[in-house]
Homo-oligomer: A and B are copies of this chain.
């Protein structure tokens, strides 16, 4: 089952976007028809490190990534930052339970997003079963991801965190083991609860072990996925 969110571009033309895949919530075997529904949204562009919305902002819209990578994060009083998640093309972020955004969202790379007005959405969901189900699936999926991240942060050494991160990135990217990281070392560190130095050192160590290769700083080749998996569990 997939749901496509269409875009009403500024010029008034409707441009179809990539569909958003989802995990079925229940009864996964049910063969739902692949009917789409449409919401109108505004295309927006952001340069790297530009803020899309801030923690505490009224959550008027939610967003879908068209291209590039987005991070959601929170800043602590001591200036440190915890990154909650990275979002790639096709993924939805900024959908909140309450009235306000609980995190900030920022562009990791140059990126394009579509902003969908939240206003009136509740009514639409109430009347469109498919739409409601999609948002429910989205919430449950996000929850599962957050819990995986939780596990990673709570337990595990720097090496375990890094290897889990690389494997996850490897899943999202090609299956050939070449991973091009959109995010900086600082981003990785803030995602994993480490420092840039530890991230850098751990990557270097993995390369020395022959587990990965680092042709450039932002490109990682996973030479031995099994070794990475063994580290974790």
- Footprint of B on A, CB under 8 Å? 23-28, 74, 76-78, 80, 82, 84, 96-99, 102-103, 118, 121-122, 126, 129, 132-133, 135-137, 139-144, 146-147, 149-151, 153-155, 192-193, 233
Task: Check A102 against B147 for contact (C-beta < 8 Å).
Answer: yes
How many identical chains are in the complex? 2
A49 to chain B, nearest CB (A): 20
Given contacts A26-B121, A135-B136, contact A84 B233 (CB under 8 A): no
Partner of A154, one of B82, B97, B129, B143: B82
Task: Check A146 against B150 for contact (C-beta < 8 Å).
Answer: yes
Which residues of B are found within 8 Å of A142, using beta-carbon distances?
A: 143
Chain A to chain B contacts (Cβ below 8 Å), 26 pairs: A23-B97, A23-B98, A26-B118, A26-B121, A26-B122, A27-B122, A28-B98, A74-B151, A77-B233, A80-B155, A82-B154, A84-B147, A97-B140, A97-B141, A97-B143, A97-B144, A98-B144, A103-B147, A126-B129, A135-B136, A136-B139, A142-B143, A149-B150, A153-B154, A153-B193, A154-B193
A98 to chain B, nearest CB (A): 6
Inter-chain CA distance A118–B153, complex, in Å, is: 31
Inter-chain CA distance A82–B99, complex, in Å, is: 31
Which residues of B are found within 8 Å of A103, using beta-carbon distances?
A: 147
Sample of 13 further A-B pairs with CB below 8 A, known A135-B136, A139-B140 = A23-B97, A78-B233, A82-B150, A82-B155, A97-B137, A102-B147, A136-B139, A143-B146, A146-B146, A149-B150, A150-B150, A153-B153, A155-B193
Inter-chain CA distance A151–B72, complex, in Å, is: 12
Inter-chain CA distance A98–B29, complex, in Å, is: 11
A69 to chain B, nearest CB (A): 19
Which residues of B are found within 8 Å of A82, using beta-carbon distances?
A: 150-151, 154-155
Which residues of B are found within 8 Å of A129, using beta-carbon distances?
A: 126
Which residues of B are found within 8 Å of A78, using beta-carbon distances?
A: 233
